[in-house]
């Protein structure tokens, strides 16, 4: 049971320890303290505050705990003011004068979020790169394993299992690129004062912002209101939701192909209990949790967009939702990545069943090849289509292979060599450039991740 109102409810079930730590109240307050200390250092460096005064603030920061700040917040009703007053109390009268000088609360809050999100995105990129690497490895090893391609839930033309996985490698790599590109707009500190004009710092405001930026190791917004532009957070949530949906798509793929009547791919669960009532069950619960969490993350997108619509130089309507939004979004995607790693470690597949299913509809999956061959022999597309359609229906109705059915038709006998047609219409040989495309995709992925 959660005993403290400030502890995120997800802390007890979802998210890895390293991601949870970022959103503990201790780390959030520690990060805010770092920003306050850095601001005082910068004030001294640009000549506004006396030199060396930040050392007193640093010592005070070590004494002020997260619990103290939250207790003070309950008393006075303002979190940043609580932090500033406590730092001032333990810094001494002279140093206290310069703590938070010229700053507004969201100089601290938004800058602290940037530092936390920078670390969070680093964790996400590391885990996502690992997942892409694992998928790439399986894709390369199965690039020549034929299986049915499926569109609309029906058998389409043949593909290979590696080709199927390579498509996920590509999609996830695109998300990796999005995160890297997003960082350029998101990971920027906000130092501007009450309405962003830097009025309190006079002509030293730009220099102050530059010093804080360099000390914290991140860039800065060139202009802002009282808060940083909220499009950055909205882009973050949208980017994470896209990634979540890609993971969800893979999870649905596994769930679908694991059905007993297909049984081409499944999640091996060893001795795990699948059902409390049905001992034979081996439910794809890891994949299902990925799908469930993706729904939760997608619901956060609209709220992040609403947070962009604030009054004038800002109002407070974004604050309460962001306290919920940012930790939960990052913890959700972190858990999904953890689950994806587990799912890939348990991923099992049956090449023989894939081949069997490829032939299950009497090889009509190569009707396209028959049509194209007839076109090459001089028929119009409509003529070739109708002949191939007739041959397909004949194969299904009589329970014979497509090539056999085609060779009973006079038009085919007249134009094509039936001995060669058997080989041409073999589904296992009609996988196109699956292997080459798979290899090219994995090469592309590795280059993009390395460049990022």
Residues annotated as catalytic are 152, 275
Backbone angles phi, psi at 349, to 5 degrees: -150, 155
Q: What angle do CA 206, 212, 218 make, to 5 degrees?
A: 105
CA distance 178 to 183: 9
- Strands 188-189, 219-220: parallel, antiparallel or unpaired by DSSP? parallel
The CB density around residue 118, as the number of other CB atoms within 10 Å, is: 15
DSSP, collapsed to helix, strand or coil, labels residue 191 as coil
Backbone angles phi, psi at 208, to 5 degrees: -60, -45
| Kind and range of the H or E run holding 189 | strand 188-189
Strand partners, 148: 158
If phi over 0 gives left and psi between -120 and 50 gives alpha, with beta otherwise, what is residue 149?
beta
Q: What is the DSSP string of 211-255?
A: HHHHHHT-EE-SS-SSS--THHHHHHHHHHHHHHHHHHHHHHHHH
The CB density around residue 434, as the number of other CB atoms within 10 Å, is: 23
For helices 161-186 and 105-141, the axis angle rounded to 10 degrees is 160
Residues in Cβ contact with 406 at an 8 Å cutoff, skipping those fewer than 6 apart: 370, 387, 388, 391, 395, 412, 416, 418, 421, 425
CA distance 294 to 426: 39
Per-residue b/e over 353-375, b at no fewer than 16 CB within 10 Å? ebbebbbebbbbbbbebbbebbe
């Amino acid at each position: 049971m959660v005993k403290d109102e400030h502890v995120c409810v997800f802390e007890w079930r979802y998210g890895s320890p390293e991601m949870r730590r970022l959103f503990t109240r201790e780390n959030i307050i520690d990060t805010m303290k770092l920003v306050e200390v850095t601001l005082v250092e910068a004030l001294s460096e640009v000549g506004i505050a006396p030199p060396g005064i930040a050392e007193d603030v640093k010592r005070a920061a070590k004494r002020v705990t997260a619990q103290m700040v939250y207790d003070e917040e309950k008393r006075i009703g303002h979190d940043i003011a609580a932090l500033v007053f406590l730092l001032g109390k333990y810094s001494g009268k002279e140093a206290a004068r310069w703590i938070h000088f010229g700053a507004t609360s969201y100089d601290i809050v938004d800058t602290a979020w940037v530092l936390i999100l920078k670390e969070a995105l680093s964790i996400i990129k590391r885990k996502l790169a690992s997942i892409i690497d694992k998928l790439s490895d399986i894709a390369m090893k199965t690039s020549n394993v034929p299986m049915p391609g499926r569109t609309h839930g029906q058998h389409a033309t043949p593909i290979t299992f590696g080709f199927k996985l390579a498509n996920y490698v590509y999609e996830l790599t695109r998300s990796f690129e999005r995160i890297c590109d997003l960082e350029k707009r998101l990971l920027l500190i906000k130092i501007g004062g009450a309405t962003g004009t830097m009025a309190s710092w006079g002509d030293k405001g730009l220099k102050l912002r530059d010093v804080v930026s360099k000390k914290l190791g991140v860039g800065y917004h060139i202009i802002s209101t009282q808060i940083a532009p909220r499009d950055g957070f909205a882009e973050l949530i949208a980017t994470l939701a896209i990634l979540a949906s890609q993971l969800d798509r893979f999870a649905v793929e596994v769930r679908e192909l694991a059905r007993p009547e297909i049984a081409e791919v499944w999640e091996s669960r060893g001795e795990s209990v699948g059902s409390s009532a049905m001992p034979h069950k081996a439910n794809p619960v890891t994949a299902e949790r990925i799908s469930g969490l993706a729904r939760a993350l997608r619901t956060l997108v609209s709220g992040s967009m609403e947070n962009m619509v604030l009054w004038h130089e800002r109002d407070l309507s974004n604050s309460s939702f962001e306290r919920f939004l940012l930790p939960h979004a990052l913890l959700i995607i972190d858990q999904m990545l953890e689950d994806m790693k587990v799912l890939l470690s348990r991923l099992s597949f049956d090449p023989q069943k894939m081949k069997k299913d490829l032939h299950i509809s009497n090889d009509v999956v190569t009707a396209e090849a028959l049509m194209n061959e007839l076109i090459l022999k001089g028929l119009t597309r409509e003529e070739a289509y109708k002949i191939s359609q007739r041959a397909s229906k004949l194969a299904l109705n009589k329970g014979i292979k497509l090539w056999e059915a085609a060779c009973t038709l006079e038009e085919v006998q007249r134009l094509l060599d039936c001995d060669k047609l058997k080989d041409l219409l073999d589904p296992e040989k009609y996988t196109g450039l699956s292997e080459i495309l798979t290899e090219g995709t994995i090469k592309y992925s590795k280059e993009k991740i390395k460049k990022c």
